[in-house]
Amino acid sequence: MVERLDEERLELLRSWGSGLSTSPRDELRAAGKAILMLVEEIDRLQVDIWNARAAATQAAAERSSQSLATTLRDRLAQRQSPGEQGT
């Protein structure tokens, strides 16, 4: 089974891509550029994932806060006597 790409492996791919992209042979230069393009795309996708997770965490926190406020308001309303409601 192939292991995930960690930062060390991505750096190795960057190194290979840079080396190949300076080759005098067209096919090796093209392969090097393709490797560099793919590594850049992986970097962008990792940023997108990080941003999506941060947004999801923030949304969950906001829902939790709203739920807490609603629950507190409902409980306070239940504790008020009928004559006190609306004041």
Mean pLDDT in order along the chain per 10 residues (87 residues) = 85 97 97 97 94 88 77 81 57
Cβ(39)–Cβ(10) below 8 Å: yes
Output the pLDDT for position 87: 53
Name the DSSP class of 81: -
Output the pLDDT for position 84: 58
Dihedral Cα 44, 55, 4, 38, nearest 10 deg:
-10
Residue 59 corresponds to which amino acid? Answer: A
CA proximity to 23, closest of 37, 34, 9: 34
Q: Is the pTM here over 0.75, yes or no?
A: no
Name the DSSP class of 4: P
